[in-house]
Structure 1
Amino acid sequence: MTREPPPILLAAGGTGGHLFPAFALAEELGRRGHAVDLVTDMRGDRYGTGFPARAVYQLPSATPGSKKNPIALARAGFTLLRGVLKARTLLRELKPGAVIGFGGYPTIPPLLTARLLGIPAIIHEQNAVLGRANRALASRTAAVATSFRKTKKLDGELADKARFTGNPVRDVVIEAAKIPYPPLGPEDPLRLLVFGGSQGARFFSEAVPPALASLPEPLRKRLKLVQQARPEDVAAVTEQTAAAGIDAEIAPFFKDLPQKLAEAHLVIARAGASSVAELAVIGRPSILVPLPHSLDSDQLENATNLAESGGSWCIEQKDLSPQRLATELARLFEQPELLGVAASKAKAQGQAGAVALLADLVEDVVGKDRA
């Protein structure tokens, strides 16, 4: 009688950059007959994606603050210790074949516990810079899966554990990637998509409407804008774009974002790892504005990688005034061939097979452990 394979436990922080690749791996492992569970922090699945796991567990977690604040450090350490104690109970109950971490401090309790219990673990790094939580865990894992062929701060003995897989994207992204880049003739609508993620929508709400309002009238009349804005900014952005005569759809969140990406002629976005991966797989040109002051400048590294391929234009926030943005938009919309070339070059960077490579690595590690 064939034994059923043990479940696989995925661990991810509560942001889209961590959850979306975990979601993609859960889909692929499910297709291969593996039971999948998810452990995350108290934010849970705030994206309403209906995570494809058998069960979703929550563990206490905290991000260590400044070393100059010993009270905050002690409080974070105590919270992480509670997380480890609860993770020990959970992992003994689930008996997973492996624990796969996708970054963020919520992954520390389950992956440390996996090491203590002798359960093999893998971490996946979405960014072009190894994140701080992953840096702390890498030496305790069987492998480090990377999204970029070169990942900063992954060197020395850790480099021997690196396995390039790419950044997995969800099935809805793979479906959207089948849609060809939309034609853009001289009279066609100009479809512009703007989204900023959880930390970037405020800047775009302030910079994009005045930039669009200063475009030549013929371009404004052709614009079809879809823009993410914080709930408190939706009314103001709607009012400004309407005053400029721009056809706009403004909302705090779009569940069908991959479809809207596929429909766009140009995207303005932050440079989070999942955003960059989805832009590349779907193949859409973008103006990327990395989140300033992010730890280790990971978004700048992500954006630079795509921009160097010719699939994007990277402009740092400090350099992007509404006037500069208007100039860039007018230049690109008036030369649609530039957008078409960038779309092709972005798609050439896409790693549509990343999820299969990561699932292969998981099965290899589980198989070796069971053997």
Structure 2
Amino acid sequence: MTREPPSILLAAGGTGGHLFPAFALAEELGRRGFPVDLVTDMRGDRYGTGFPARAVYRLPAATPGSKRNPIALAKASLTLLRGIRQARALLRTLKPAAVVGFGGYPTIPPLVGAWMLGIPSIIHEQNAVLGRANRALARPAAAIATSFRKTRKLDGPLAEKARFTGNPVRGAVIEAAKIPYPPLAPEGPLRLLVFGGSQGARFFSDAVPPALAMLPEPLRRRLKLVQQARPEDIDAVRAAIAAAGIDAEIAPFFKGLPEIMAESHLIVARAGASSVAELAVIGRPSILVPLPHSLDSDQLENATNLAESGGSWCIEQKDLSPARLATEIGRLLGAPETLAAAAARAKAQGQAQAVGLLADLVQDVIGGESALRR
């Protein structure tokens, strides 16, 4: 007698770096016949992705602050304990075959709850450094999926549970990857994309307009700029870009970002894990500016990995003045062969099969293909 396939619970915080790979895995598990539920924090799906889950549940979570602030630490701990209690109740109701966490403190309640109830867990690390929450959850996990072949702070007994899968990207990214790198005609448009995520758009709003204003007028006339900016910065960015005589689209969020990436000749971005994975799968040259002061310098590690392949140029924010940015953008947009070569090298680093490998790992943990026939 054929039974219904077991469900899988995914746990991800409300940032794109955590939600996008979870989204990709949900799509793939759905194609394989597994019902999928999502548990996230109170930020929820603020990226408007329409997460492909049977249901989305929200649990309280908090990031523990510094030990120097015992009151904040106590409040965060109480919030996490409340989240764990609610997670246990939810897990008893859903009875998933496994819980897959994508890092960040919002994954602690459901994964700790899974450990307490004897439900196998898998953690996925998007960055080139094992994150702090994932370090706390790694020991009881059944398996650890990694996005890079070498992941710092993953050693000893933990390394034995690691499997390289790559960082899953959404179906929209896979579709965008089918678009060839656009040729750079001698007098044709030069398509520049700038995006920075929630923590990076402010810097780019301050640095990009004056940098582009320094470019030679013939180059500015050919520029087609798409730039992400915070709502409070949009008017100022639009005014500065218009004063430079540049055709631009400025918005706080672009829902069809993968297609815009594919249409771009050059991209300036932060080095979050999902951004780097998508740049590689689509195969587009980029100037990566890692978020400074990020925990464990994870964005610097991510950017360095892609830059070492020749698919990107990594410049730390402390070294990137508007004048330096203008020099780099002007140099690269004036070198079509360099950009095309970097696009090919970036694409060679892409892991388009990552989502399938991660889904295979989930099936291995819950009992392989037989899970669909129980």
**TM-score bin, normalised by smaller chain:** over 0.9
Q: How does 1:97-116 map to 2 (within 5 A)?
A: 97-116=97-116
Is it true that 1:122 corresponds to 2:131 in the alignment? no
Partner of 1:267: 267
Q: How does 1:268-283 map to 2 (within 5 A)?
A: 268-283=268-283
Partner of 2:328: 328
Distance of 2:143 and 2:282 partners within structure 1:
28
Question: 1:70 Cα deviation (Å)?
Answer: 1.0
Partner of 1:253: 253
Q: Which amino acid aligns with 1:365?
A: V
Distance of 2:276 and 2:87 partners within structure 1:
32
Q: Which amino acid aligns with 1:227?
A: Q
Is it true that 1:54 corresponds to 2:61 in the alignment? no
Partner of 1:78: 78
Q: Which runs of 4+ in 1 moved over 4 A?
A: 368-371
Q: How does 1:307-346 map to 2 (within 5 A)?
A: 307-346=307-346
Distance of 2:326 and 2:198 partners within structure 1:
24
Partner of 1:183: 183
Is it true that 1:284 corresponds to 2:284 in the alignment? yes
Partner of 2:355: 355
Distance of 1:220 and 1:32 partners within structure 2:
49
Deviation per CA, 1:51-108: give whole Å up to 9, x if none.
0000000011000000111111111111000001100100000000000000010100
Q: Which amino acid aligns with 1:155?
A: D
Question: 1:6 Cα deviation (Å)?
Answer: 1.2
Is it true that 1:21 corresponds to 2:52 in the alignment? no
Question: 1:334 Cα deviation (Å)?
Answer: 1.1
Distance of 1:43 and 1:140 partners within structure 2:
27
Question: 1:336 Cα deviation (Å)?
Answer: 1.1
Is it true that 1:158 corresponds to 2:158 in the alignment? yes
Partner of 2:3: 3
Distance of 1:134 and 1:44 partners within structure 2:
20
Distance of 2:311 and 2:304 partners within structure 1:
10
Q: Which amino acid aligns with 2:249?
A: E
Question: 1:294 Cα deviation (Å)?
Answer: 0.2
Question: 1:5 Cα deviation (Å)?
Answer: 1.6
Distance of 2:73 and 2:244 partners within structure 1:
49
Question: 1:156 Cα deviation (Å)?
Answer: 1.1
Deviation per CA, 1:98-157: give whole Å up to 9, x if none.
000000101001001111111000000000000000000000100000000000000111
Partner of 1:66: 66
SS in 2 for 1:193: strand
Distance of 2:198 and 2:83 partners within structure 1:
25
Q: How does 1:230-249 map to 2 (within 5 A)?
A: 230-249=230-249
Q: Which amino acid aligns with 2:331?
A: R
CA RMSD of aligned residues (A): 1.0
Distance of 2:6 and 2:327 partners within structure 1:
56
Question: 1:39 Cα deviation (Å)?
Answer: 0.1
Question: 1:335 Cα deviation (Å)?
Answer: 1.0
Q: Which amino acid aligns with 1:235?
A: D
Question: 1:188 Cα deviation (Å)?
Answer: 1.1
Distance of 1:365 and 1:54 partners within structure 2:
21
Structure 1 residue runs of 5 or longer lacking an equivalent are none
Distance of 2:45 and 2:329 partners within structure 1:
35
Distance of 1:280 and 1:267 partners within structure 2:
12
Distance of 2:12 and 2:140 partners within structure 1:
17
Partner of 2:207: 207
Distance of 2:75 and 2:294 partners within structure 1:
23
SS in 1 for 2:215: coil
Q: Which amino acid aligns with 2:315?
A: I
Is it true that 1:146 corresponds to 2:146 in the alignment? yes
Q: How many residues align?
A: 371
Question: 1:229 Cα deviation (Å)?
Answer: 0.2
